[in-house]
Amino acid sequence: MKRQILFINAFLIASFFSAQTVEERKKISLESNHFENQKLFSILKKEDSDRKLRLKMYLNSSNSNVSRLKIGEFGIQEIVDVLPNGEKIYARTYNLGAATTARATQLYNGGSLGINIQGQNMDACVWDGGNVRDTHQEFMVNGISKITNMDAVVFADHSTHVAGTIAAQGINSLVRGLAFNSSIRSYNWTDDLTEMLSEASSGTLVSNHSYGMGSLGSLWFYGAYDSRARQIDNICYNNPYYLPVVAAGNDRNEVTPPGSTQLGTKGGYDMIFGHGNAKNVITVAAVNQVANYVNASSVIMSPFSSWGPSDDGRIKPDISMKGVNVRSTLSTSDTSVGIMSGTSMASPGVTGVVLLLQQYYNQLYSNYMKAATVKGLILHTADEAGIYPGPDYEFGWGLINAEKAAIAIRDKNATASNKSVIEELTLNNNSTYTKTITASGTSPLKISISWTDPQSPTINTGTIDPTTKYLINDLDIKVTHNDTIYYPWKMQGMSNPGDPATNTSVNNADNFERVDINNPSGTYTITVTHKGTLSGGSQNFSLIATSENLSTLSTNDLALNENTVDFYPNPAKEYLYIKEKDNNLNITIYDISGKLVLKTKLIDGKLNISDLIKGNYIVNYTTSTGVKKNFKFIKN
């Protein structure tokens, strides 16, 4: 009964603060696979019940009622499970000018973009090691708190600090959060998976997880795709708008085993564990504040942030954010603030940026982005960091840049130059997606695909550095220009973790791929294919492209002149008949958005369209005398 009452209260408070409307949440919820969610919920409840029983038996047998310990000044470590083999599983917080570093200030009222995006109408969930101090002055608006504590646990400095980095309103200007007009629902981490599933299925867009959970006494869990990573991937796949943001961890300064052992043998690499290795989350590294980004050398890595890769060579962490000396709210009083460092402090900065970008997108286009889109947009627009071009296992794709991401949103499908492409698409099994664009300028042409991948059927339960690949639907992007093929960036895995990324072949590990083309000039063809058989028969993916001057084929570009073509029937089902004297004409067919869907030949006046799905299409061809012709038709 407690959960139902609190959930209702959360909606009442969210409505008071003009958070996501009930209608918006219902719209997002309709995209969830509720049948699979119910199956997963039953599994998670059973696993959770078994876990609690094992933990209770262990505590009783050890004559201890203490499962939670304080670590350092603000941190918490709690034993949450004891496996049948005696291995203990712990949850541990990651302790040790964020808006300036993220360039989020340019989105605020008075910023350079001329917009007013500050988290209005938005809310996030925070799972952490205790309650947020909801009475803190930074969370009180007209006598009502922006924080809804969903669990009856004590206030904690760590969770309060995290929530402040996202949503503190700035009464004390030094602690204003990234999305300072947003609201927070706060949970204790004990039942996080079942609660995450409930939130995701009801329309929540983003949640923050500034803690790690795993077997802190063993080497195998570093880099491992374990049961938590798999279950979180499952939650995300069934709820395509839900994006968890997680801290990479602080194990690069460990002085005791197994962290110190891993540090000594791997040189700082392969130190991310638990849900940080999930495919469908965004994992955050901690860097120093960047007051003014000039180039990659402006971004200084913290001494503690854990580096990847995951065991299968995926790029982890995904993105970097300020996590050193972050000032935010504390729980000791209603006015207390303090400084903490850690990837725990970097992660909520990214969560705040997600809220801002989702708010801006919804304001312009009256709907929210899928999780793969907003994650892809953040990685696509990141500023270079590290000593080599492209991604790495230290900074991920670089330093987050909310301003660049917002500009890409603003210029999506614009009619003038200096625009971007942001599309949410579907690739069917054994099919190919192509799109033609033109680009020019001195800034790189960047083209990315991002997708929420199904959970892997296999997990790691104790093997050190297995070679198993956990990517299920392996999409591939390449870009062609004349006779040149451009491939996406990829890393080499633990065989050479410090080596630079390459872009000379396909990527077979990551569910985000980006192609960078310096000094573009001319026409480029984007091709998206897949390896093997797609699980489920298809895979949704997001396409993002940006350049200094970019244009795409649209219905306007085709200069339609239907009266010059004699064709029938319309609508058509399997064949179109076109009255032309020429035989074997080369025919191209585009959908109404301008995407190339079919290249074929007109043979004896007959055109086979049976493989096209229902919709409106544009036919384009050139006669042997050089006359360009095109017309529209409807496929039934």
Residues 6+ apart with CB under 8 A from 514: 379, 380, 397, 446, 447, 448, 488, 489
Token readout for 22 is 């009930």
- Please state, in angstroms and rounded to a whole number, the distance separating the CA atoms of residues 68 and 630: 70
Tell me how far CA of residue 57 lies from CA of 50, 61, 62, 91, in angstroms: 11, 6, 9, 18
- Please state, in angstroms and rounded to a whole number, the distance separating the CA atoms of residues 625 and 592: 27
The catalytically annotated residue of 183, 320, 344, 542 is: 344
* Known active-site residue 344: yes
Half-sphere exposure (CA, 13 Å, Cβ side) for 574?
A: 0
* Known active-site residue 209: no
Coil, strand, or helix at residue 303? coil
CB 408 within 8 A of CB 377: yes
The catalytically annotated residue of 32, 81, 123, 128 is: 128
Q: Check residue 353 and report its DSSP letter.
A: H
Which alpha helices (DSSP H) does 202-340 contain, by range? 227-238, 259-266
The catalytically annotated residue of 123, 134, 157, 158 is: 158
Residues 6+ apart with CB under 8 A from 269: 307, 308, 309, 393, 494, 497, 498
Beta strands across the sheet bearing 606-608: 567-568, 575-578, 606-608
Question: Across-strand partners of 485?
Answer: 480
- Please state, in angstroms and rounded to a whole number, the distance separating the CA atoms of residues 209 and 344: 8
* Known active-site residue 158: yes
Q: What residues are labeled active site?
A: 128, 158, 344
